[in-house]
Amino acid sequence: MSTIDLLKRVNGIIEKYEKYDASTPKERPANASQDYFMKLYRTIEDDLNDVLKKVEEVEHERNRAVIATLNAEVRRSKAALRLELLKLHKLAQKKVKGVIAEEILTRPSMALALAARIEEVPDGVNAIRKKNPANGQPLEIRIDNYSPDDIMRSGAGREHSVESKGFSDEYELRKIKQDEGLEAIQQGLTTLKDMAHDIGEELSRQEQLVDEADTKTDQASANMNTTNSRLKESVTAMRSSRNFCIDITLLVIILGIAAYLYKALKK
Amino acid sequence: MAESSKRPHSAPSLDPRLTHAHQLVRKADKLTTLSFFNWWPDWTQATPLYEQAATAYKLAKMLEEAKTCYEKAATGQERLSSPWTAGKHMESAGALAKELGRIDETVVLYRRASELFLECGKAQPSADVLGRGARAVEDESPEVAIRMYLDACAMLEEDGREQMAFDTYRAVVNLYIKLNRFKDAAALLVRWGQAADKCHATQSQCKAYLSAIIVHLYDEDLKQAQQCYNDCSQMDVFYKSDQGETAEKLLSAYGEESSDEIKHVVDSSYIIPHLDHMIVRLAKQLPKGELKTIFPVEPSDDKLNEDDLT
């Protein structure tokens, strides 16, 4: 019997005897179908316990990426629970058959208590990371030691002639054009950087696949070599026995011819 | 032949192939159905017949028969202990079920194909087939598709191949955004960032975190966006990256409550256009809604201090 058949039989047997399984507790509270408030309350409480478990995991976790993910999940669950709470508040006001009046009066406060518990759940790192001012300075690239402003200042005390005004205007214009050019270069470089990063990631992704393909091809070629050598052995064995038979047959024929000739010559 | 007289509308060139296909199916059925004379089903002979018949039906565009043949061929391959081929046939059957428009059956067939691949011990093709199945049904039943995508991601993560899961994550995020479930989209983006962190794919990680913050801002939830940024900036990789800087600029623009500033940050950024196109579309629409609703009026503390006599 193969593994698959075994699995199928086991599943079949489990399905057949499921009703005898004592480990699943069955709750049958009275008037369960009517009491929507308690059902919703219990569901929300279960969800809240799941969220609290996640918060516990956060406390034990060291990897920051995992912490961020868990916190994001906690925030999302809290948002979903808040929506459910709105429904709970509405249901708390309704009268339900089989439940005494005093209990119905306590229900709104139960809902509020649950709301408070949900809000208490910590959901994320509240410390804002201050940017290190030393790192905040962009790298300054200097091409030469004179700055254009120094050169302009050195001419202070002299009046502008028409020509020099034209020169300074041209200088301003060219400066603006250079800035535009540099911006275009910056944009191009950012795109290139982004593409290069993406290419790098794609390559590291493909590396894993190529390594696997490599191992598989190595295995396949080893198998081929073994098969080939075995085939060679069996073919040589066959051929030698065939050669042997052919040799004997030919010998017999030659002897027969020789005997015939001998008889013919003897006459 | 009897069959050709019953089908006057089929093209004459297809007829002999179709009749051959019918014959194959009948022969294979005879081999596999148990009867008084047939105590053991002979799948070794029947399976290739089913496969041939299925290809013939598919060429003839008779999808219903092709699908049934593929399913039977898959069962046969399973019995012959070759779950790989069985999985492949189940996937073909699933694709045909999708063309026939039967979504529930499609889901079942694709899930069965994925299970068969798992029996082989191959997680990658199993997750791939779940992804393909999810794509097939995402238009008609997005919830089921999301479930399938998330199962595929979990499978790949268990196997340690998080990098292959990136495409699946992207598909789920796009689906969530289409369904306007922004909170789920943002949570999943942070999860994507975690997967990227595990395999040291820093570019994808930073992009995922920035996308999560943009989604929160599009959802008009500044508080969540701020908390998300606080969480993510605990990681050096994101904090020092271009994406982290863009996020900080965006949040400070929101802090200044100036929609011009926000638009300027988005338009002049060289980082945002390189994100996924759905996210870029959301970013271009920032700031969404009235800025006043995003910033709830905080109760001023001054009054409390005056009345506080302690």
pLDDT in tens, A147-185: 777 776 776 667 778 888 888 899 999 999 999 999 999
How far is A184 from chain B, CA to nearest CA, in Å? 11
Pick B230's closest partner by Cβ from A126, A135, A204: A126
Give Rg (Cα) of chain A.
Answer: 45
**Residue A102 pLDDT > 80:** no
Q: What is the mean pLDDT of residues B92-121?
A: 91
Q: What is the mean pLDDT of residues B175-194?
A: 92
CB B292 within 8 A of CB B224: no
Which pLDDT score is estimated for B295?
61
Interface probe for B, chosen from A119, A205, A210 (most Cβ of B below 10 Å), is A205
Which residues of A lie closer than 8 Å to B, measured between beta carbons?
A: 2-4, 63-69, 71-73, 75-76, 79-80, 123-129, 131, 135, 186-187, 190-191, 194, 197-198, 200-201, 204-205, 208
How far is A107 from chain B, CA to nearest CA, in Å? 29
- What kind and span of H or E run contains A52? helix A36-60
Give the Cβ contact number of residue B240 at 10 Å. Answer: 15
Tell me the DSSP string of A201-223: HHHHHHHHHHHHHHHHHHHHHHH
Domains observed in chain B: 47-159 (1.25.40.10), 189-292 (1.25.40.10)
Interface probe for B, chosen from A129, A137, A190, A198 (most Cβ of B below 10 Å), is A129
Do B191 and A69 make contact, defined as CB atoms within 8 angstroms?
Answer: yes
Q: Which chain A residues have a beta carbon less than 8 Å from that of B224?
A: 75, 79
Give the Cβ contact number of residue A54 at 10 Å. Answer: 17
Pick A187's closest partner by Cβ from B161, B231, B270: B270
Which pLDDT score is estimated for A142?
73
Pick A76's closest partner by Cβ from B183, B235, B248: B183
Structure confidence at residue A253 as a pLDDT band (50, 70, 90): very high
Q: Classify residue A146 by its DSSP letter.
A: -
- Residue bearing tokens 């004379």: B37
Q: What is the 3-state secondary structure (H, E, C) of chain B?
A: CHHHHHCCCCCCCCHHHHHHHHHHHHHHHHHHCCCCCCCCCCHHHHHHHHHHHHHHHHHCCCHHHHHHHHHHHHHHHHHCCCHHHHHHHHHHHHHHHHHHCCHHHHHHHHHHHHHHHHHHCCHHHHHHHHHHHHHHHCCCCHHHHHHHHHHHHHHHHHCCCHHHHHHHHHHHHHHHHHCCCHHHHHHHHHHHHHHHHHCCCHHHHHHHHHHHHHHHHHCCCHHHHHHHHHHHCCCHHHHCCHHHHHHHHHHHHHHCCCHHHHHHHHHHCCCHHHCCHHHHHHHHCCCCCCHHHHCCCCCCCHHHHHHCCC
CB B153 within 8 A of CB B165: yes
Share of chain B above pLDDT 90, in %: 42
Q: 3-state DSSP call for residue A139?
A: coil
Q: Which chain B residues have a beta carbon less than 8 Å from that of A200?
A: 203
- CA of A76: which chain B residue's CA is closest? B183
Instruction: Show the tokens assigned to B299.
Output: 């109760």
Pick A68's closest partner by Cβ from B164, B193, B201: B193
Q: What is the mean pLDDT of chain B?
A: 85
Which pLDDT score is estimated for B5?
43
- Full-model pTM: 0.74
How far is A189 from chain B, CA to nearest CA, in Å? 10
Do A129 and B228 make contact, defined as CB atoms within 8 angstroms?
Answer: no
Structure confidence at residue B1 as a pLDDT band (50, 70, 90): very low
Alpha carbon distance A204, A218 (integer Å): 21
Alpha carbon distance B204, B201 (integer Å): 6
How far is A203 from chain B, CA to nearest CA, in Å? 11
Is the link from the previous residue into B287 a cis peptide, with omega within 30 of 0? yes
Q: Which chain A residues have a beta carbon less than 8 Å from that of B271?
A: 190, 194
Task: List pLDDT tens digits, range A48-60.
Answer: 888 888 888 888 8
Pick A68's closest partner by Cβ from B119, B194, B203: B194
Alpha carbon distance B129, B93 (integer Å): 12
Which pLDDT score is estimated for B167?
92
Rounded to a whole number of angstroms, the distance between the first and last alpha carbons of chain B is: 106
Share of chain A above pLDDT 90, in %: 30
Q: Which chain A residues have a beta carbon less than 8 Å from that of B274?
A: 191, 194
Q: Which chain A residues have a beta carbon less than 8 Å from that of B194?
A: 65-66, 68-69
Task: List pLDDT tens digits, range B10-22.
Answer: 454 557 888 888 8
CB B110 within 8 A of CB B132: yes
